[in-house]
Structure 1
Amino acid sequence: MNYQKSIDLFEKAKNFIPGGVNSPVRAFRAVGGNPLFITRADGPYMYDEDGNEYIELINSWGPMILGHNHPEVREAVIKAMEKGSSFGAPTAKEVEIAELITEMVPSVEKVRMVNSGTEATMSAIRVARGYTGRDKFIKFEGNYHGHGDSFLIAAGSGAITMGNPDSPGVTKGTAQDTLLAPYNDLEFVEHLVEANQGEVAAIILEPVAGNMGCVLPKPGFLEGLRKLCDKEGIVLIFDEVMTGFRLSQGGAQQAFGVIPDMCTLGKIIGGGMPVGAYGGKKEIMEYVSPEGPVYQAGTLSGNPIAMAAGLTMLKQLWDDNSIYSSLEATGNAIVSGIRDSLKSLGLSYTMNHIGSMYSLFFTHEPVVDFKSAQTCDTALFGKYFQAMLRKGIYLAPSQFESLFLSTALKQEHVDRILEANEAALRELV
């Protein structure tokens, strides 16, 4: 494949944009080579500036659950744009999408629209602190909740050790109220809460992790957190920016039958536009200004173009019960096919999968948390990524990102993905 236009654009971009990209993982540093500059996408395909075609398994990092450039979403955006791009005032579609979200998501009785998943998680923690009158919160290693200062915290040593800043620019003062726990380790969380008795406002987690690769909760983990939060008066927050509307109409909380006090949403909720939201129990959300004392605002929150796209997307998911069974079947076909190839080639890499999310980990160990994810051979993954790319399959350019499937993938695409996978794996043997 020829990538010259992308190479030239990347060189030019580095003169004006930090690292040449507007989000770090796009730089391809984890997999080598140069990032591809995309010019258009349709259904299961993306096309770069050099005219190369790819079947892609990222779907804009999750939002495009119905495939790219979905005709009904596109038409809704065009119609909304004809009326104006921003009003800075309430619109009927904001009410309509809020009502639909409360119908779809079990934990949400009231919801506030924002512009990104990062805004949603930052705001949810602030509301939980205001509601409980406590300062500290617990997050989990390997769970990503956006780039808010209090979330960029590295691991401390021991159950009562405060976090340390994981990025320059994050102050120690910000870090000291963030407590860190290993994912899937309920006993550690219990000790952490006990060591900080009466000080923990919230526990926030990805119910299915997607930012250390796809990592599922162990049986009883989510249920144990729910029980602990009930006992200690802690607000349980599910970050469903990735899993919301993807694992089921009501997200991971519906799929696992564990209902948090609050949840954060993004990606699919915007139908490809930059949208986020946070919501939860009425008594908690009534602490949000102007109804309550916890301040949060946004000039473009509830933007009419974004609301049109998101509402159209959610209506599709709400009205068609076959979407999730179709996604499940596609996921099962791809994952079982990859496992068959691994077995036939005598390889024992690890695979995690749920619904339309999966990850192939280049490690022989089960991946259940951040520590086990770090045993992956990232250099070998980089070779696999490049081999798949040469065969026209576009994966997430990092070992530590989940893949996301769409309903646009048909049997012919699944067959091509599996053929490319086997050929790529043979190159690694």
Structure 2
Amino acid sequence: MAGVSGVGLSWSSNISLCPVPKPSPASRPVSSVVKMAVSVEKKPFSLQKSEEIFTAAKELMPGGVNSPVRAFKSVGGQPIVFDSVKGSRMWDVDGNEYIDYVGSWGPAIIGHADDKVNSALIETLKKGTSFGAPCLLENILAEMVIEAVPSIEMVRFVNSGTEACMGALRLARAFTGHEKIIKFEGCYHGHADPFLVKAGSGVATLGLPDSPGVPKGATFETLTSPYNDAETVKSLFESNKGEIAAVILEPVVGNAGFIPPKPDFLSFLRQITKDNGALLIFDEVMTGFRLAFGGAQEYFGITPDLTTLGKIIGGGLPVGAYGGRRDIMEMVAPAGPMYQAGTLSGNPLAMTAGIHTLRRLKEAGCYEYLDKITGDLVRGILDAGRDAGHEMSGGFIRGMFGFFFMEGPVYNFGDAKKSDTAKFARFYRGMLEEGVYFAPSQFEAGFTSLAHTAHDIEQTVEAAKRIFQRI
């Protein structure tokens, strides 16, 4: 296991590194080569074009964005409008260059705009962008997923993580004949009605909708518990005997900041679901193929009944999947009676990008490399913050990380909310001006990629040192 103090994980070295050549100027867009050449001379940081484009966008799209977290509501200012990406870097419309630790919220694990993936996409594009019918590429990616992920014996491809979680939930209810589910505060499983539930002390046994437009009836069967809280889970099973279809969770939380499970928490969930005839669902949309080639379930050695996937298996294109035991998956239409469909599911472009991304991740030493660079990054940031007098905690596993402006440990979303979010916002804005792009929220995990170099990490830590002294 890998991590830093404050989250109960220990980091190990003694690794062999996956060779990761730094992208050459020739492999970048011509415009980005020019940008790199002038970036040596520090120019005043300006977001004038981004601001102009975003001002126009607000008249065209709700809030000016197509996903709320992009709007910079929690960090202040206006969002950055990007123009191009390559490797570990991003360039905005104003010509500013950034080291990227968002990675399109996780998919870019081998780096942005990988040459081999792009070449494969071009060849597939020549054959067509969508068939609406079976293609061989679906078989190839399905075989790779089944071979890699311990819980998956059959898989169904969809178009997003939200779709995957919707399908898995409906399947769990169909298979068990029960309707209630347990989810955890701070775990995000997409924007489907049953998952949009506010957790907390007042709603420990009854789901209350967290968004206008979600009827109470859609969340009535959603039970909630703080993450890492075995006692609450026990009480929910005791008070709802024979009624719970499934427990669903992010095995490592990435939507409340980076929060790993306590020792034995996942094994506890595995046992209590078995004892009560419920299914255990791992939402590995973030952790799948990131913590290990077989995901968090391989990393922790816990096999759920169903798994949801996304992000990495599409290599940057829209994709999702859910899979699990054969006897459960054969409930899905047309093999069984549980209906779920999608016109663009198994899209040839998404399948191609996923296949070539997973092939790269199978190369020896890749996960050890992610472990090394992410550990260097997180330890560097935490040390720099503490040296400057800030309370800090955080951790990492392989290519996933997070940190809080507070003393640890952080076991759940309630703990995470004690972080100094105002200080995070100041830190965030400062790091943008230094050319470092983190997720624009204290409550989102960060991601590294195989394209990140030791120089990227050093540059980021040095920038953090300067900002910590200013805030």
- The answer to whether the superposition gives a TM-score over 0.5 is yes
Q: Tell me, in whole angstroms, the C-alpha distance in 2 between the residues paired with 1:160 and 1:248.
A: 33
Q: Tell me, in whole angstroms, the C-alpha distance in 2 between the residues paired with 1:86 and 1:326.
A: 36
CA contact (8 A) 1:159 1:188 kept: no
- The structural deviation recorded for 1:161 is 2.6
Aligned to 1:78: 122
- Residue deviations 1:98-118, cap 9 Å, x none? 011000000000000000000
Aligned residue identity for 1:210: G
Is the counterpart of residue 17 in structure 1 residue 57 in structure 2? no
RMSD: 1.0
Corresponding residue to 2:111 among 51, 55, 67: 67
Aligned residue identity for 2:431: M
Q: Tell me, in whole angstroms, the C-alpha distance in 1 between the residues paired with 2:432 and 2:389.
A: 23
Q: Which segments of 5 or more consecutive residues in structure 1 lack a partner in the other structure?
A: none
Is the counterpart of residue 375 in structure 1 residue 418 in structure 2? yes
- The structural deviation recorded for 1:346 is 2.8
CA contact (8 A) 2:205 2:236 kept: no
Q: SS of the residue aligned with 2:104?
A: coil
Is the counterpart of residue 394 in structure 1 residue 437 in structure 2? yes
- The structural deviation recorded for 1:159 is 7.7
Is the counterpart of residue 268 in structure 1 residue 312 in structure 2? yes
Q: Tell me, in whole angstroms, the C-alpha distance in 1 between the residues paired with 2:340 and 2:453.
A: 43
Aligned to 2:79: 35
Is the counterpart of residue 234 in structure 1 residue 275 in structure 2? no
Matches of residues 272-311 of structure 1 in structure 2 within 5 Å? 272-311=316-355
- The structural deviation recorded for 1:223 is 0.4
- The structural deviation recorded for 1:362 is 1.3
Is the counterpart of residue 215 in structure 1 residue 259 in structure 2? yes
Is the counterpart of residue 340 in structure 1 residue 383 in structure 2? yes
CA contact (8 A) 1:182 1:369 kept: yes
Matches of residues 25-424 of structure 1 in structure 2 within 5 Å? 25-155=69-199, 157=201, 161-318=205-362, 320-424=363-467
- The structural deviation recorded for 1:342 is 2.6
- Residue deviations 1:133-183, cap 9 Å, x none? 001100000000000000001126468631111000100101101000110
Aligned to 2:27: none
CA contact (8 A) 1:356 1:406 kept: yes
Aligned residue identity for 1:298: G
- The structural deviation recorded for 1:329 is 0.4
Task: Identify which range, 45-54 or 308-317, moves more after superposition.
Answer: 308-317
- The structural deviation recorded for 1:97 is 0.5
- Runs of 4+ with deviation above 6 angstroms: none
Aligned residue identity for 2:354: G
Q: SS of the residue aligned with 1:258?
A: coil
Q: Tell me, in whole angstroms, the C-alpha distance in 2 between the residues paired with 1:161 and 1:355.
A: 35
Q: Which segments of 5 or more consecutive residues in structure 2 lack a partner in the other structure?
A: 1-44
Q: Tell me, in whole angstroms, the C-alpha distance in 2 between the residues paired with 1:380 and 1:307.
A: 41
Aligned residue identity for 2:461: L
- The structural deviation recorded for 1:354 is 1.5
- The structural deviation recorded for 1:336 is 1.6
CA contact (8 A) 1:342 1:349 kept: yes
Aligned residue identity for 2:292: S
Aligned residue identity for 2:122: I
- The structural deviation recorded for 1:253 is 0.3
CA contact (8 A) 2:394 2:408 kept: no
- Residue deviations 1:300-326, cap 9 Å, x none? 0001111111111111112x0211000
- The structural deviation recorded for 1:347 is 2.5
CA contact (8 A) 1:140 1:180 kept: yes
CA contact (8 A) 2:390 2:405 kept: no
Task: Identify which range, 325-334 or 359-368, moves more after superposition.
Answer: 359-368
Aligned residue identity for 2:331: Y
CA contact (8 A) 1:273 1:309 kept: yes
Q: How many residues align?
A: 427
Q: SS of the residue aligned with 1:54?
A: strand
CA contact (8 A) 1:159 1:191 kept: no
- The structural deviation recorded for 1:350 is 1.2
Percent of aligned positions with the same letter in both sequences? 52
Q: SS of the residue aligned with 2:146?
A: helix
CA contact (8 A) 1:121 1:145 kept: yes
Q: SS of the residue aligned with 2:105?
A: coil
CA contact (8 A) 1:46 1:53 kept: yes
Q: Tell me, in whole angstroms, the C-alpha distance in 1 between the residues paired with 2:344 and 2:318.
A: 10
- The structural deviation recorded for 1:121 is 0.2
Task: Identify which range, 158-167 or 13-22, moves more after superposition.
Answer: 158-167
Q: SS of the residue aligned with 2:369?
A: helix
CA contact (8 A) 2:200 2:226 kept: no
CA contact (8 A) 2:110 2:450 kept: yes
- The structural deviation recorded for 1:59 is 0.5
